[in-house]
């Protein structure tokens, strides 16, 4: 057939005949690379068009793409893929008539309608996409050739890719100008010395699939993450070759799915587009804020998509019970849902794998790499690493696959609706936040694999410069499957982002990248509009032109403006939406890094100097401007802060400030800060010594002043359990010997006024109720007989637990005995005489497990203090994890063994210890934990509980003390209602959560803004009272979540116009303790870290005013009652230091200084550790319900835009008031309308195990 019909075969036969006829051996066959006909039709070329005979050594008509075939020269000749005959010669069976393949001169569409700047000719990708189509009127044998067709598809795409790579290699000089002189995402750290680079042949980010392409897409995803928050769902959607759309088509042609990778890819793309529409329009999982996906191809070639869904706040799944509603990891019931059962059996069962099926592809070294079978689990929960552990109950349901019985442990997590609609393997996972981003772009996050390692290897071991060919590196690790080749030929995207991300370039003055050729004239180059009007400079011009622009930072600009490449200008956006991302540079890049930091914060700049102007001061460098904004972590800020505060703060406050900085480990070089600041701390020392020695004319030398100041500082540190010796190379006072033998902890506990305490005890003792007297006598008997004992005083808020603590403390301290008062929270500890938090007093580690112990050394001052103590009182015990008490128990048994011989067999070593609390309140917080996790973490599920004697208090003293006798009935009803909520009785039987009705007397309703209504109720006459210190003392708004609290606080800050505001910015970085700090610092830009918002850590932007109520977010100084939860009023806003006054408690009105501190959140949602240096406070017009535990207020507004979600939250909220008239509740239902019904969550098993 080829002899008869193939023009190429005919051409070779023609040459053969000519060679036989002629004696001249120098006859050649020229395969012509040009055509006169229209290649868009299927007209077959003639022999004369395809080939010509050439006689002799030279042919003037030889074209660039012509192929010259000679007789046995012994040399290889490269044949251009762009010759029309290439495909016919390479694949004669696919082109049996010798049809033309691709050539460069095929016109694209209607050439007259195409602009001069657009494509005029058909590309090789477009040509191949055209040839791969199935057409009813044409019988293409190519599409039926099975493996040969697969080879053709792969070969076709490699032609496309090699052409692109060849272009990159040829244009290296131009690409270097764009990539290295201009600004692009930095792959390498510290490549500043050209001599270390050798010759680099780069692969630019415009090349799809290259390393720079992947890194830029990762940074784009992080930009979306910065804007939308963490992803909520991670979905893997795999193509099913058994889809009816595929099987129907293939059955007609007697083909298998692998025979038509083009059909498989196109059907998968249609399904994928439909899936994204379902997420967006049908809202399968709720309102979607953003979508990101990437396409990968399995070893066997099938495509699959990794999809990230970012949900709106009103559509998130905060608890594990919510997750169970959308994700299942169990086999359904065959009888009630047979179609669902069959779908799970066919598509969602892993394996089978295991010891008996070692041939399974997931088995490596005898173990499943996917960790199947999974463990049985009665409830969905989160493990210690933050991964979800889905519910897999042992209910007896099984499926049989390959003659192997599989149970729930082998089910891949999925969503029923998506599985039934798409009939494909679709793994749906609840996200552990940004770890899914890392997996999505795993090529970047595998660490230094062979590709990344190649990028980093810029020089060899001998220091010689070797060429680094990134194109060759890309070739070396490239694998193309037929499906991927088809996908790329059709031009389908391998990464998708919605909303889009606009990449923003920037540069120094007159250093914008310029691209030009050697033959271009310089004056003409500089006259080009592209030189003068870069994207960055056009931002300056837009800020001059548009008023709206001046309120935006550079990174926010694409949300409101569109970059017009053609006219090189920013214009106001009319439709759509885009997120901005400034090209990243690493921290070691010098001034360009600081310029980038400023671009994330400066608004409305019209020139480069505007970027260096902070609060009206033009700084010399960008680094200095960053420092003025608070974007840098540097000891210099503490030197400047102490200097600043010295003008208006007393010296003893400065010494306390320095002690806080030492104890909090905020100083990197404390001795250097001391040398620069000690004279400010010594300002009152000479006056104190004059008073001490009654010598008005006493003059101390600098050496003496420093010595006495160090002694004062040492005394402060000793009171905090530290010493100057803990902070080398800090100087030690020469007279330190006067302090050396003193156990400061013992000294403090023995300094109480015994006479005053004796009188106080008498008053307290006479006022004990019958219930309280029983408790008192039990505990005192245990102390007096020396046998020890463990007690738990159980009573709800207001029953007099604190009163008993004070009575017990006074009774023992009046006799010279030691009582250690601790509480689980800073706020609760402030209510105890001499109270401390349990963690600080007993050195309890922050990270605990079932084998942990406290950091108390045998024979240390703390151990000696504990041994000498007669009684330990621990309030609010139910708040802490049982591991805290068990760790303390193990330590106590060890400490007491030299004082009590059988201490190892006694709980807490035989020491008398009394716990107190209310199990109706909030229980230990287990991040993303299930109900079972929370219940199991409480103290009454510890092995210690059977040793506890429970003593109950039931009479509410707080309410009785707050009202007249005429209101006793109201008091009683209110008290009983609160208890019914705490016990889970209100609203009927409650086994977890139930909807209850709130009495109308507490309900607020509004048709307008709910925040405005709750503010109006809780803070009446706010504008007239905002500067009144006492106005904020006993009132607050409560809400279940931090997002709602932030909304309320922002509203209040805008409402108060009596004082100017000031915004403080944090300095954020990846912790240097992280093992991957360099790589993480490159991948997580400062603006991404700035957007991280986690509980217990202040926000990046902290806006304050004088008179703003704030709350501390960490324990700073217990002696100054600066504990986590302490409320203060801001009285002065310094550049580096805040001045405030304590709002409540025994130190109410006390002046304090607050520095910026470095805080590291322990949040399992973060795949890395990051550090934020910021003032450790939050605005506290409103606070979360959990934060309010321990606070006593007279006016409470409870805003429930969303219901409570954890045990005891509603009970805590309504029991904060001391007056039932001070409680108002505003509830919104699912439609956003006011209601009097809300959810109450109570775990009955906790209450039943007391």
Indicate the burial class of 186 (C-beta count within 10 angstroms; 0-12, 13-18, 19 or more).
middle
Distance, in Å, from the CA atom of 588 to the CA atom of 465, rounded to the nearest integer, reads 23
Distance, in Å, from the CA atom of 995 to the CA atom of 988, rounded to the nearest integer, reads 9
**Which SS3 state, helix, strand or coil, does residue 1004 take?**
coil
Nearest to 508, CA basis, from 567, 585, 436: 585
Strand partners, 304: 238, 296
Per-residue pLDDT of 945-957, as tens digits, reads 999 999 999 887 7
Distance, in Å, from the CA atom of 1212 to the CA atom of 44, rounded to the nearest integer, reads 85
Nearest to 1212, CA basis, from 808, 793, 776, 825: 825
Q: What is the pTM of this model?
A: 0.75
DSSP letters of 260-301? -HHHHHHHHHHHHHHHHHIIIII-TTS-EEEEEEEEEE-TT-
CATH superfamily of 788-955: P-loop containing nucleotide triphosphate hydrolases (3.40.50.300)
Per-residue pLDDT of 1080-1111, as tens digits, reads 555 577 888 888 888 788 999 999 999 999 99
Per-residue pLDDT of 25-39, as tens digits, reads 566 666 666 665 554
**Which SS3 state, helix, strand or coil, does residue 888 take?**
helix
Indicate the burial class of 686 (C-beta count within 10 angstroms; 0-12, 13-18, 19 or more).
middle
821, 825, 844, 884, 1127 from 838: Cα distances, Å: 9, 8, 7, 9, 20
Distance, in Å, from the CA atom of 561 to the CA atom of 130, rounded to the nearest integer, reads 38
Q: What integer pLDDT is reported at residue 1137 of this predicted model?
A: 95
Q: What integer pLDDT is reported at residue 74 of this predicted model?
A: 56
Question: Residues with Cβ < 8 Å from 573, sequence gap 6 or more?
Answer: 558, 559, 560, 561, 562
Question: Residues with Cβ < 8 Å from 749, sequence gap 6 or more?
Answer: 818, 819, 820, 834, 865, 869
Strand partners, 339: none
Q: What integer pLDDT is reported at residue 593 of this predicted model?
A: 86
Nearest to 1067, CA basis, from 1126, 1155, 1162, 1187: 1155
CB 1206 within 8 A of CB 1241: yes
Q: What integer pLDDT is reported at residue 1182 of this predicted model?
A: 96
Q: What is the DSSP letter of 1219?
A: S
Q: What are phi and psi of 757, to 5 degrees?
A: -70, -35
Q: What integer pLDDT is reported at residue 447 of this predicted model?
A: 34
Centre a 10 Å sphere on the Cβ of residue 786 and count the other Cβ atoms it contains.
Answer: 10
Q: What is the DSSP letter of 736?
A: G
Nearest to 1056, CA basis, from 1129, 1106, 1126: 1106
The domain locations on the chain are 2-141, 207-311+427-498, 328-413, 503-512+522-629, 636-742, 788-955
- State both tokens at 610: 């505007």
Q: What integer pLDDT is reported at residue 58 of this predicted model?
A: 40
Distance, in Å, from the CA atom of 238 to the CA atom of 297, rounded to the nearest integer, reads 9
What's 933-968 look like in SS3?
HHHHHCHHHCCCHHHEEEEEECCCHHHHHHCCHHHH
* Average pLDDT for the chain: 83
Distance, in Å, from the CA atom of 482 to the CA atom of 401, rounded to the nearest integer, reads 29
Q: Half-sphere exposure of 832 toward its Cβ, with a 13 Å CA cutoff?
A: 29
Q: What are phi and psi of 652, to 5 degrees?
A: -65, -30
Question: Residues with Cβ < 8 Å from 155, sequence gap 6 or more?
Answer: 90
Distance, in Å, from the CA atom of 146 to the CA atom of 256, rounded to the nearest integer, reads 8
Lateral strand order in the sheet of 1109-1112: 1151-1155, 1137-1142, 1127-1133, 1109-1112, 1177-1179
Show the CA angle centred on residue 811, arms to residues 805 and 817, nearest 5°: 105
Tokens 């040009």 identify what position? 34
Q: Half-sphere exposure of 698 toward its Cβ, with a 13 Å CA cutoff?
A: 16
Q: What are phi and psi of 1159, to 5 degrees?
A: -120, 135
CB 681 within 8 A of CB 707: no
Tokens 């086994």 identify what position? 991
Which residue numbers in the chain have pLDDT < 50?
39-43, 48-49, 53-65, 111, 114-116, 178-198, 443-464, 736-738, 962, 1074-1078
Q: What are phi and psi of 872, to 5 degrees?
A: -115, 125
- State both tokens at 499: 């909303």
Indicate the burial class of 337 (C-beta count within 10 angstroms; 0-12, 13-18, 19 or more).
middle
Strand partners, 605: none
Nearest to 1155, CA basis, from 1170, 1143, 1140: 1140
CB 1058 within 8 A of CB 1026: yes
Q: Report the b/e string of 227-258 with b at 16+ CB within 10 A.
A: bbbbbbbbbbbbbbbebeebeeebeeeebebb
Nearest to 1097, CA basis, from 1205, 1198, 1197, 1178: 1178
């Amino acid at each position: 057939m080829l002899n008869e019909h193939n023009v190429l075969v005919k051409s070779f036969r023609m040459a053969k005949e000519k060679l036989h006829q002629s004696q001249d051996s120098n006859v050649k066959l020229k395969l012509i690379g040009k055509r006169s006909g229209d290649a868009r039709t299927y007209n077959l070329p003639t022999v004369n068009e395809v080939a010509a005979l050439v006689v002799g050594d030279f042919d003037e008509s030889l074209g660039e793409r012509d192929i010259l075939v000679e007789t046995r020269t012994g040399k290889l000749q490269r044949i251009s893929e762009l010759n029309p005959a290439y495909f016919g010669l390479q694949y004669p069976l696919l082109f049996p008539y010798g049809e033309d393949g691709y050539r460069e001169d095929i016109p694209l569409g209607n050439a007259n309608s195409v602009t001069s700047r657009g494509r005029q000719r058909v590309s090789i990708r477009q040509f191949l996409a055209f040839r791969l189509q199935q057409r009813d009127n044409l019988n293409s044998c190519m599409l039926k050739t099975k493996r040969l067709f697969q080879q053709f598809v792969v070969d076709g795409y490699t032609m496309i890719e090699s052409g692109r790579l060849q272009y990159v290699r040829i244009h290296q000089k131009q690409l270097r100008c764009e990539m290295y002189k201009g600004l692009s995402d930095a792959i390498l750290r510290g490549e500043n010395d050209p001599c270390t680079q050798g010759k680099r042949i780069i692969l630019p980010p415009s090349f799809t699939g290259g390393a720079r392409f992947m890194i830029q897409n990762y940074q784009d995803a992080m930009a979306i993450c910065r804007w939308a928050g963490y992803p909520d769902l991670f979905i893997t959607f795999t193509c099913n070759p058994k889809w009816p759309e595929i099987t129907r088509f293939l059955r007609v042609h007697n083909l298998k799915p692998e025979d038509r990778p083009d059909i498989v890819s196109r059907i998968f793309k249609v399904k994928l587009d439909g899936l994204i529409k379902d997420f967006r329009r049908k809202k399968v999982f709720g309102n979607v804020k953003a979508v990101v996906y990437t396409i990968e191809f399995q070893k066997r070639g099938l495509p699959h998509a990794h999809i990230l869904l970012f949900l709106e706040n009103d559509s998130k799944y905060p608890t594990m019970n919510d997750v169970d509603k959308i994700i299942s990891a169990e086999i359904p019931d065959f009888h009630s849902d047979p179609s669902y059962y069959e779908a799970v059996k066919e598509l969602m069962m892993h394996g089978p794998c295991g010891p008996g099926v070692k041939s399974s592809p997931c088995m490596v070294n005898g173990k499943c790499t996917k960790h199947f079978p999974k463990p049985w689990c009665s409830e969905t929960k989160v493990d210690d690493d933050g991964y979800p552990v889905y519910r897999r109950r042992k209910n007896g349901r099984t499926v049989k696959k390959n003659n192997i019985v599989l149970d729930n442990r082998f089910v891949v997590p999925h969503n029923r609706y998506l599985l039934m609609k798409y009939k494909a393997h679709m793994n749906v996972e609840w996200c552990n936040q940004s770890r899914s981003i890392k997996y999505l772009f795993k090529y970047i996050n595998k660490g230094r694999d062979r590709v990344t390692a190649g990028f980093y290897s810029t020089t060899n071991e001998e220091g010689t410069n070797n060429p680094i060919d990134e194109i060759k590196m890309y070739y070396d690790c490239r694998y193309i499957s037929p499906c991927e080749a088809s996908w790329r030929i059709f031009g389908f995207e391998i990464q998708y982002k919605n909303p889009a991300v606009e990449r923003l370039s920037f540069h120094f003055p007159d250093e914008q990248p310029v691209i030009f050729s050697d033959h271009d004239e310089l004056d003409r180059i500089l006259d080009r509009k592209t030189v003068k009007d870069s994207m960055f400079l056009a931002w300056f011009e837009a800020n001059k032109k548009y008023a709206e622009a001046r309120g935006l930072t550079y990174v926010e600009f694409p949300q409101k403006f569109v970059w017009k490449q053609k006219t090189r200008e920013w214009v106001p956006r009319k439709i759509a939406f885009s997120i901005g991302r400034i090209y990243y540079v690493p921290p070691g890049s010098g001034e360009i890094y600081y310029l980038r930091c400023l671009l994330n914060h400066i608004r409305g700049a019209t020139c480069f100097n505007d970027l260096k102007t902070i609060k009206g001061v033009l700084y010399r460098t960008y680094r200095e401007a960053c420092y003025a904004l608070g974007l840098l972590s540097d000891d210099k800020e503490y030197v400047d802060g102490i200097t600043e505060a010295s003008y208006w703060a007393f010296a003893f406050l400065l010494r306390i400030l320095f002690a806080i900085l030492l104890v909090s480990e905020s100083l990197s070089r404390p001795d250097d800060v001391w040398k620069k600041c000690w004279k400010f701390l010594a300002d009152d020392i000479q006056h104190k010594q004059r008073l001490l020695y009654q010598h008005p004319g006493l003059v101390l030398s600098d050496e003496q002043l420093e010595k006495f100041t160090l002694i004062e500082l040492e005394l402060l540190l000793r009171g905090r359990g530290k010493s100057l010796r803990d902070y080398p190379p800090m100087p030690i006072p020469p007279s330190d010997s006067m302090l050396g033998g003193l156990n400061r902890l013992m000294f403090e506990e023995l300094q109480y006024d015994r006479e005053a305490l004796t009188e106080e005890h008498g008053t307290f003792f006479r006022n004990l109720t019958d219930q309280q007297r029983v408790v008192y006598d039990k505990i005192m008997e245990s102390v007096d007989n020396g046998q020890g004992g463990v007690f738990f005083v159980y009573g709800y808020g207001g029953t007099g637990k604190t009163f008993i603590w004070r009575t017990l403390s006074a009774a023992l301290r009046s006799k010279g005995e030691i009582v250690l008062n601790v509480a689980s929270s800073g706020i609760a500890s402030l209510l105890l005489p001499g109270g401390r938090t349990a963690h600080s007093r007993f050195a309890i580690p922050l990270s605990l497990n079932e084998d942990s112990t406290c950091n108390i050394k045998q024979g240390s001052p703390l151990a000696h203090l504990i041994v000498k103590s007669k009684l330990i009182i621990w309030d609010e015990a139910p708040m802490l994890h049982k591991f805290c008490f068990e760790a303390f128990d193990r330590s106590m048994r060890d400490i007491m063994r030299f004082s009590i011989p059988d201490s190892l067999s006694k709980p807490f070593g035989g020491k008398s210890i009394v716990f107190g609390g209310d199990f109706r309140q909030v229980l230990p917080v287990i991040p993303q934990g299930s109900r079972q996790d929370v219940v199991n973490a409480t103290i009454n599920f510890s092995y210690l509980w059977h040793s506890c004697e429970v003593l109950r208090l039931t009479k509410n003293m707080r309410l009785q003390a707050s009202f007249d006798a005429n209101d006793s009935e109201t008091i009683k009803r209110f008290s009983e209602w609160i208890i019914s909520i705490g016990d889970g009785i209100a609203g009927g039987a409650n086994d977890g959560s139930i909807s209850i009705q709130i009495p109308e007397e507490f309900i607020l309703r509004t048709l307008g803004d709910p925040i405005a209504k709750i503010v109006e109720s809780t803070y009446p006459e706010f504008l007239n009272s905002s500067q009144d210190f006492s106005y904020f003392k006993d009132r607050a708004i409560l809400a279940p979540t931090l997002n709602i609290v932030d909304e309320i606080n922002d509203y209040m800050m805008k409402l108060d116009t009596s004082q100017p505001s000031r915004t403080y910015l944090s300095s954020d970085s990846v912790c240097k303790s992280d093992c991957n700090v360099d790589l993480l610092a490159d991948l997580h830009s400062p603006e991404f870290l700035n957007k991280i918002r986690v509980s217990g850590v202040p926000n990046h932007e902290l806006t304050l005013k004088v008179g703003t109520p704030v709350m501390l977010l960490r324990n700073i100084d217990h002696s100054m009652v600066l504990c986590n939860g302490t409320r203060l009023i801001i009285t002065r806003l310094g550049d580096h230091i805040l001045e405030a006054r304590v709002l409540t408690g025994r130190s109410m009105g006390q002046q304090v200084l607050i520095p910026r501190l470095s805080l590291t959140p322990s949040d399992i949602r973060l795949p890395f550790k990051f550090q934020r240096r910021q003032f450790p406070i939050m605005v506290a017009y409103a606070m979360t319900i959990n934060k309010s535990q321990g606070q006593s207020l007279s006016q409470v507004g409870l805003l429930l835009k969303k219901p409570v979600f954890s045990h005891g939250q509603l009970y805590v909220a309504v029991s904060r008031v001391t007056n039932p008239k001070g409680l108002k509740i505003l509830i919104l239902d699912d439609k956003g309308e006011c209601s009097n019904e809300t959810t109450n969550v109570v775990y009955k098993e906790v209450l039943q195990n007391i």
